[in-house]
A and B are shown apart, each in its own frame.
Chain A
Amino acid sequence: MNFGFTEEQVLLRDQVRKFIEQKCPMSEVRKISQTKEGMSVEHWQEMGQLGWTGLLVPEDFGGAGLNWVDALVLLEEMGRGLFPSPFISHSLACFAIAELGTEDQKQLWLPKLASGEKIGTVALLEETDLPQLEGIQLEAKMVGDHLQLNGSKHFVSDVNTADLFIVAARTGPQTDQVSLLIVDKKAEAVSTKTQATVDKTKREGLLQFEQLKVPSTQILGNKDGAADTINRLFDCGAVAVTAEMIGSSEGAHALTVDYAKNRIQFDNPIGKYQGVKHPLANMYVDIESFKSLLYYAAWCVNESPQELSKSISLAKAYASETVPKMGIDCLQLHGAIGYTAEYDIQLYLKRSKWARPKFGDANFHYDRVASLGEY
Chain B
Amino acid sequence: MDFDLTKDEIAFRDEVRQFLDDNLKQKTDNEFGVSFDADWNKKVREKRWVGFGWPKEVGGGGGTIMEQVILKEEMATRKAPALGTCFMGLAWVGPSIIEYGTEEQKKRFIPDILDGKYQWCTGYSEPNYGSDLASLQCKGVLEGDEYVVNGQKIWTSLAPFAAWMILLVRTDFDTQSKHEGITCLLVDMKTPGIEVRPIENMAGGRFFAEVFFTDVRVPVENRLGKEGQGWAVTVSALANERSSIAEVSALQRRLESLITTARQATRHGKPLLEDPGIRRQIARFEARIEAMRLNGMRYLTKQIKGEPLSSETSVNKLHRANLEVDMAEFAVEFLGNAGLHMRGSDDAVEGGKWIFNSLSWPDVVIGGGTPNIQRNIIAERILGLPKD
Contacts from A to B (Cβ < 8 Å): 1-6, 69, 257, 260-261, 268-269, 271-274, 276-278, 280-282, 284-285, 288-290, 292-293, 295-296, 299, 303, 314-315, 317-318, 321, 363, 366-367, 369-370, 373, 375
Contact = CB atoms under 8 A, between A and B. Distances in A.
Given A272-B386, A370-B282, A3 B297 contact: yes
Interface string B278-290: 0110111011101
A272 B283 CA distance: 35
Given A1-B2, A375-B259, A289 B298 contact: no
A369 B297 CA distance: 21
B383 interface: yes
* Closest A-B pairs by Cβ, 6 of them: A292-B294, A289-B291, A277-B379, A369-B283, A271-B385, A366-B283
B222 interface: no
**Interface size bracket, B side:** 35 or more
Nearest to B3: A1
Contact of B1 (A69, A257, A317, A321): A69
B300 interface: yes
A274 B374 CA distance: 12
B144 interface: no
26 contacts: A1-B2, A3-B1, A3-B297, A3-B298, A261-B384, A276-B385, A277-B375, A277-B379, A278-B379, A281-B318, A281-B376, A282-B375, A284-B382, A285-B319, A288-B315, A289-B319, A290-B291, A293-B291, A293-B294, A296-B294, A303-B2, A321-B284, A366-B283, A369-B286, A370-B283, A375-B263
Contacts of A317: 283-284, 287
A289 B1 contact: no
Given A5-B1, A293-B290, A375-B273, A257 B283 contact: no
Given A281-B374, A284-B382, 14 more contacts: A1-B4, A3-B301, A4-B302, A269-B385, A274-B375, A278-B376, A284-B378, A284-B383, A288-B312, A289-B291, A295-B298, A314-B287, A366-B279, A367-B279
A6 B301 CA distance: 12
Contacts of B384: 257, 261
Given A317-B283, A369-B287, A292 B375 contact: no
Given A3-B1, A318-B291, A375-B282, A272 B387 contact: yes
B203 interface: no
Interface of B: 1-5, 66, 259, 262-263, 273, 276, 279-280, 282-284, 286-288, 290-292, 294-295, 297-298, 300-302, 304-305, 312, 315, 318-319, 372, 374-376, 378-380, 382-388
Given A282-B375, A367-B276, A375-B282, A3 B294 contact: yes
B388 A277 contact: yes
Nearest to B385: A271
B280 A272 contact: no
Contacts of A373: 259, 283, 286
Given A271-B386, A289-B288, A1 B280 contact: no
A370 B379 contact: no
Contacts of A278: 372, 375-376, 379
A299 B294 CA distance: 12
B372 A274 contact: yes
A51 B298 CA distance: 28
Contact of A367 (B4, B283, B319, B388): B283
Contact of B298 (A271, A272, A274, A292): A292
B383 A281 contact: yes
B318 A285 contact: yes
A305 to B, nearest CB: 15
B272 to A, nearest CB: 10
A5 B301 CA distance: 10
Nearest to B302: A4
Contacts of A276: 385
A317 B302 CA distance: 26
Nearest to B383: A257
Contacts of A369: 283, 286-287
Given A261-B385, A274-B372, A281-B379, A295 B1 contact: yes
Given A1-B2, A375-B279, A261 B287 contact: no
A3 B246 CA distance: 12
Contacts of B259: 373, 375
Contacts of A271: 379, 385-386
B308 to A, nearest CB: 14
Contacts of A315: 287
Contacts of B263: 375
A280 B301 contact: no
A292 B295 CA distance: 6
A65 to B, nearest CB: 17
A303 B1 CA distance: 10
